[in-house]
């Protein structure tokens, strides 16, 4: 008789209570991680990690972020960078740029995220505004930048305040320093996930920002109050005030906060962008002596031709090192009188040199836009509502797929046709002045002012970079030189 032996049953412990929920959580987490890892392997851009995204790599490369982006965008025309609370999509392909700045313009406003970063500095100014508020300010500003005004006035008058930054002894200026500090800190907010926490506790960079804005506001509001008093006095005496006329065009002078925002937006638009471009131009001319010499020959020929047209005899100057300072100053003043809105148009090589400088060193190196609704860019990249898309003029100017194999070279000749005329490029390829509905209203004004200043400087002076002086940018909304530009200056007559 065979004795049967029962096989012991395998113990079974059902998942109940807390164990069940832990198991479900682990399964879901594993699926999310696998899905995210699969997506990230296909993602074009820096490596992204759970929670922190690409924050660490961005922080490590923050001091050279524009060149960091060049490295990625030279391989991939579109790059996605994940951050803890949002994601940035950087674009350098003109087709994508046109889609964002023109074709689907309404889907890419400045947006709430951008405004939250910049509001403390720009407020409701034109660079920070959307919708009807932006349209109203743009219409008002367009009167000031109309062609007729540019022909009638060789410079755009601001608020009549001289802060002395061009004095020979280079004095310290608290407003300029505070404004730059605020600009630097609000730019840092774009990659600093802790800035709101620092603002809440009034520590670190946010504490410095608060102090800087206080100084900026004190100066700005004092100017506004003084100018308002002057306008009231001028009206009472029957005198015309250009600022008053502009105010009436927009429905009155406005409250102090609105004027404060307008002033600070125009400080960035008029003071900072022009100043930084003049610095990079001078650096390019010094480091490319063949360009500097060709430019000087054009200016000398222009001077002789304009003198003949005007029937004036040029003041004789012995040459570089001449002790006759009075004669030299008279010759410079005489040359300046030959410059006008129309005559500057004859300086094609100068115009090409300024444009080439802006191609490689755009005053605004990055320009972020918000995303209202999910969209697909022309190259197939999907972008999600709530994120940001940033076109990158600094990178675009260095892309071989935009400008050819010599894209990184400073070559003004690329802007001149065989017949000697200036050759324009698509504003979606050369994006230094933006494009589409928000294209820069001050483009002609900026060219006019820079060409007038550079024509005089390059005609009568030579510049040599001070030995050992570092030339590099600092991270802020404009491409400012971190240490300024220190040069030796000598006469060139």
**CATH homologous superfamily for 19-491?**
Cytochrome P450 (1.10.630.10)
Mean pLDDT over 230-249 rounds to 64
The DSSP secondary structure of 93-162, one letter per residue, reads -HHHHHIIIIITGGG--SHHHHHHHHHHHHTTSTTT--HHHHHHHHHHHHHHT-HHHHHH-SS---SS--
Alpha carbon distance 437, 440 (integer Å): 9
Please provide the average confidence, as pLDDT, over all residues in the chain. Answer: 86
Confidence of residue 285 (pLDDT cuts 50, 70, 90): very high
Residue 197: partners with Cβ closer than 8 Å, 6 or more residues away: none
pLDDT, tens only, 393-405: 999 999 999 999 9
Helix H, strand E, coil C: the string for 244-304 is HHHHHHCCCCCCHHHHHHHHHHHHHHHHHHHHHHHHHHHHHHHHCHHHHHHHHHHHHHHHH
Residue 140, pLDDT score:
83
Residue 294: partners with Cβ closer than 8 Å, 6 or more residues away: 349
Q: Give the pTM.
A: 0.86
H or E stretch including 40? Answer: helix 17-42
Residue 329: partners with Cβ closer than 8 Å, 6 or more residues away: none
Residue 171, pLDDT score:
76
The percentage of the chain sitting over the pLDDT mark of 90, rounded to a whole number, equals: 66
Mean pLDDT over 61-75 rounds to 96
Residue 16, pLDDT score:
55
Look up residue 357 and give its two tokens: 């400088």
CA torsion 36-37-41-45 (nearest 10°) is 60
**Between residues 182 and 150, the one the model is more confident about:** 182
pLDDT, tens only, 412-450: 999 999 999 999 999 999 999 999 999 999 899 899 999
**Between residues 191 and 148, the one the model is more confident about:** 191
Alpha carbon distance 385, 87 (integer Å): 10
**Residue 482 pLDDT > 60, yes or no?**
yes
Mean pLDDT over 137-165 rounds to 65
Domain edges within the chain: 19-491
Alpha carbon distance 102, 107 (integer Å): 10
Beta carbons of 286 and 463 less than 8 angstroms apart: yes
**Residue 298 pLDDT > 50, yes or no?**
yes
Tell me: is residue 440 an annotated ligand-binding position: yes
List, in sequence order, every residue forming a beta bridge with 462; answer none if it has no partner.
490
Helix axes 204-236, 256-266, angle to 10 degrees: 110
**Residue 11 pLDDT > 90, yes or no?**
no
């Amino acid at each position: 008789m065979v004795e049967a032996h029962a096989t012991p049953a395998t113990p079974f412990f059902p998942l109940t209570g807390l164990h069940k929920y832990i198991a479900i959580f682990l399964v879901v987490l594993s699926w999310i991680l696998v899905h995210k890892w699969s997506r990230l392997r296909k993602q074009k851009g820096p490596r992204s990690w759970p929670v922190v995204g690409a924050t660490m790599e961005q922080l490590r490369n923050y001091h050279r972020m524009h060149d960091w982006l060049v490295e990625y965008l030279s391989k991939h025309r579109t790059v996605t960078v994940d951050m803890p609370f949002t994601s940035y999509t950087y674009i350098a392909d003109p087709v994508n740029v046109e889609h964002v700045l023109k074709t689907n313009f309404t889907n890419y406003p400045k947006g709430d995220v951008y405004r939250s970063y910049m509001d403390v500095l720009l407020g409701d100014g034109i660079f920070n505004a959307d919708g009807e508020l932006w349209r109203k300010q743009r219409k008002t500003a367009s009167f000031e930048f109309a062609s007729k005004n540019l022909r009638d006035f060789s410079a755009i008058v601001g608020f009549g305040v001289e802060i002395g930054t061009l004095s020979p002894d280079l004095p310290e200026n608290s407003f300029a320093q505070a404004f730059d500090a605020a600009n630097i800190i609000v730019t840092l907010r774009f990659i600093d996930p802790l800035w709101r926490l620092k603002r809440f506790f009034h520590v670190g960079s946010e504490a410095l920002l608060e102090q800087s804005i206080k100084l900026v506001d004190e100066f700005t509001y004092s100017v506004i109050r003084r100018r308002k008093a002057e306008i009231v006095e001028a009206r009472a005496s029957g005198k015309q005030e250009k600022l008053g006329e502009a105010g009436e065009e927009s429905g009155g002078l406005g409250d102090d906060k609105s004027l404060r925002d307008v002033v600070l937006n125009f400080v960035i638009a008029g003071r900072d962008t022009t100043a930084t471009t003049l610095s990079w131009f001078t650096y390019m001319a010094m480091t490319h002596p063949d360009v500097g010499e060709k430019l000087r020959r054009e200016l000398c020929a222009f001077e002789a031709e304009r003198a003949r047209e005007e029937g004036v005899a040029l003041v004789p100057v012995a040459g570089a090192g001449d002790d006759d300072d009075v004669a030299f100053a008279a010759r410079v003043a005489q040359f300046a009188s030959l410059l006008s809105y129309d005559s500057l148009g004859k300086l094609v090589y100068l115009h090409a040199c300024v444009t080439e400088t802006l191609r490689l060193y755009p005053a605004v190196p990055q320009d972020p836009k918000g995303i209202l609704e999910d969209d697909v860019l022309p190259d197939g990249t999907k972008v999600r509502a709530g994120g940001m898309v940033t076109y990158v003029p600094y990178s675009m100017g260095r892309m071989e797929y935009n400008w050819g194999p010599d894209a990184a070279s400073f070559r003004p000749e690329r802007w001149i046709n065989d017949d000697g005329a200036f050759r324009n490029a698509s504003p979606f390829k050369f994006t230094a002045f933006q494009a589409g509905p928000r294209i820069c209203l001050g483009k002609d004004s900026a060219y006019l002012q820079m060409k007038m200043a550079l024509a005089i400087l390059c005609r009568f002076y030579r510049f040599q970079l001070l030995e050992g002086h570092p030339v590099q940018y600092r991270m802020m909304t404009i491409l400012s030189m971190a240490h300024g530009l220190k040069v030796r200056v000598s006469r060139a007559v």
